[in-house]
Amino acid sequence: MGVGVALSTLTTGVVAFAAAVPAQAASPTHAFPSHQTYQVGVMPSASEATRDAAVEKQYDSWKANYLVHGCASNEYYVSTKGDGDATNNGPVSEGQGYGMNIVPLMAGYDANAQTEFNGLWQLVKDHEDQYGLMQWQLDGKSCNYYSGGTPDGATDGDLDIGYGLILADQQWGGYSSDAKTWLTNFWNHDVAPDGHLKCEDDGPNTDTRPSDHMIDHLRAFAAYDTSHDWNKVVQRTEAVDSSLVSTYSSSYGLLSDFVVGANGSSPAPAPANYQENQPDNIVGYNSIRVPWHMGTDALLNGATTSAFELSEAQKWSACAKKVSGDNPANVYPHLNLNCTGYNTSDVAEEAGDSIGPSAMAAGDQAWTDKIWNFLQTNPYGDGYYGETIKTLVMIVMAGDYWSPAASSAPANDFSVSDTPATASVVAGASATATVSTAVTSGSAESVTLAAAGLPSGATAAFSPASVTAGGSSTLTVTTAATTPAGSYPVTVTGSAASGSHTATFTVTVTASGGSCTPAQLLTNPGFESGATGWTQSSTLGFTPITTATSAEPAHSGSYIAWFNGNATKDTDTIAQSVTIPSGCAATLTYWLHVDSTENTTTAKPDTFTVQVLNSGGTVLGTVGSFSNLNAASGYTQQTANLSSWAGQTVTLKYIGSETDTSGGTTDFVIDDLALNTQ
């Protein structure tokens, strides 16, 4: 190996270097066990002391088998022993990142933790690629990069290494400069221009890998490094995942191993053999990590900040429970996106292990306990990959996973977005958009809204003018008959104590003078002719368009469209194709009533969405989104602006989805629709 030190072989077969290592310099500020109170969910029923002892036992085993003192006397690496991910059991950046997370979390129990962390970090620094990130694959003997082509980095390893540096800085201090330099390199080369995470630092700006979507890490980056807009990365990552789930796995929340078109409005599962030799339009050995990451973020950050992640955790946990027959040992590492086994002959420990944080976040006590007990075994003799994931999952499930973001400022932040982002109006008419805010870190704060960049003669009004982060407001831009034709980007600004964020609402004004004939475009908008003009479906075989009852009366007339409410898993849809004339402003209205007996005040197991699709079935936009939390007496009129699709033939689709995971059922009922142009 050429490092001039004596070698000895441990009883585990792992090579260790006999040279001395630097002494530990500081006492940990979050010594293990660092018991945390998570924001949502349940803990395993085992006692706190039992859980801590189990983590210590697993850590001892992991360290003895996979933490190697090499390639130099001041270096450590995580061996891929047992999985063959690198020649001669060498390290990969993914494993190095895992190690740089595990070791700081175990400081206090492991007296040598800082020395080991410094060695892990030293190896990274000694094996950086052209962008200052870690060469993703090294030989275990020569410690040279051996994969083909120019040495490059992998996003998951780079992300975990950055998070590990922040953990170390909060644990011992002294790593701030290294951490911020690393995050700058990561921002410059692993983040695409639109904010989504690339698969590797020298890869295209078009793809992403959902197993890299470690939202809790990104939130920590946002709190720690204010020189880059990490909240943009959080928002874009959530947008990509939300679009994928809505289009390809709305009932189960599953995400494929690789994704293409991540920089556009219609991300999609990658085709077969993309990046790796497998059918990538499924859950595989990459995406089995998604429920671990989603569940962890939900546990740390709660139902408001992590609403999407909590919903994903609940769905993924329910799917794994269903497909495995309530047995963690039978969670398959290959799943179709409709929650059926793609390959039921393949089993792996880490597939069941990774569900643990999601089961906790979902509040499923019995399922959580089964997974915790399963974690104490290794039924398939898994190597580095399974045992390393197990170690991190056990730290989370034991309640010892602390977030470095909690020690960083600023504590509060938010985001601003608008739906739709564009609208077309005839001069003298109005355009509307829903301006939504979300808590991205810390606590909710008051956000004041304003608009700038209006065309001549136009005015803007918000209802309400200020919201608490997490709330929404309706923006109405009213043009004058004299407003010149043109496209105007209106800047929507949300201002709070923590700072300001913006979104753009582009209003296209066309000249008045009869270019649009006012009309109501929908066929049979009140369903009084039954299903005429509509297509409908139900996974349970029911027809949503039906006669009203005393339990669910019509808003007017005798017919309604009634979605879900069967106390079992179900997806119901109705749809109609419509052509919106060019030069017209178009407004969709409908009356909605929601009943629910779901046993939750935070979760959204039952959802109702309104989508606009093109002729090929691609979702162009979601113009309405509701859940069991919107239950109320009577009907409420809902409005959506469809002007941005003027000149197109689109499909208007209503989708009710019930997961039956929170102990109740939800009825979504609509009536008296209209799509009016002016």
The one catalytic residue in 75, 116, 152, 156 is 156
Closest to 475 in 3D by CA, of 426, 416, 428, 418: 418
- Neighbouring CB atoms inside 10 A of 385's CB total 22
| Residue 642 falls in which region: left (phi positive, over 0), alpha (psi -120 to 50) or beta | alpha
Strands 422-426 and 499-510: parallel
Task: State the angle between helix axes of 384-397 and 48-66 in degrees (0 to 180), rounded to the nearest 10.
Answer: 160
**Coil, helix or strand at residue 524:** coil
* CB 140, CB 83: distance < 8 Å: no
CA atoms within a 13 Å half-sphere pointing along the CA-CB vector of 645: 27
Cis bond upstream, residue 33 (ω within 30):
yes
Calculate the CA 629 to chain-centre distance.
Answer: 21
Find all residues with CB under 8 Å of 60, minimum gap 6, and list them: none
* CB 269, CB 244: distance < 8 Å: yes
Closest to 373 in 3D by CA, of 41, 45, 16: 45
* CB 213, CB 256: distance < 8 Å: no
Task: State the angle between helix axes of 384-397 and 365-375 in degrees (0 to 180), rounded to the nearest 10.
Answer: 130
In the chain, how many H helices and how many E strands?
13, 26
Q: What is the rounded CA–CA span in Å between residue 304 and residue 508?
A: 34
Q: Clarify whether 350 is annotated catalytic.
A: no
Tokens of 53: 């002892």
> Which residue type sits at 223?
A
CB neighbour burial string for 261-284, b if at least 16 within 10 angstroms, e if fewer: bbbeeebbbbeeebeeebbbbbbb
Q: Clarify whether 94 is annotated catalytic.
A: yes
Alpha helices by DSSP H, listed for 283-326, are 290-305, 307-323
Closest to 375 in 3D by CA, of 346, 351, 399: 351
* CB 561, CB 669: distance < 8 Å: yes
Find all residues with CB under 8 Å of 273, minimum gap 6, and list them: 279, 280
Calculate the CA 580 to chain-centre distance.
Answer: 34
Tokens of 294: 């989603």
The one catalytic residue in 52, 75, 85, 94 is 94
CA angle, corner 99, sides to 93 and 100, nearest 5?
Answer: 90
- Neighbouring CB atoms inside 10 A of 651's CB total 18
Closest to 374 in 3D by CA, of 413, 414, 328: 328
Tokens of 191: 């983040």
Catalytic sites, residue numbers:
94, 156
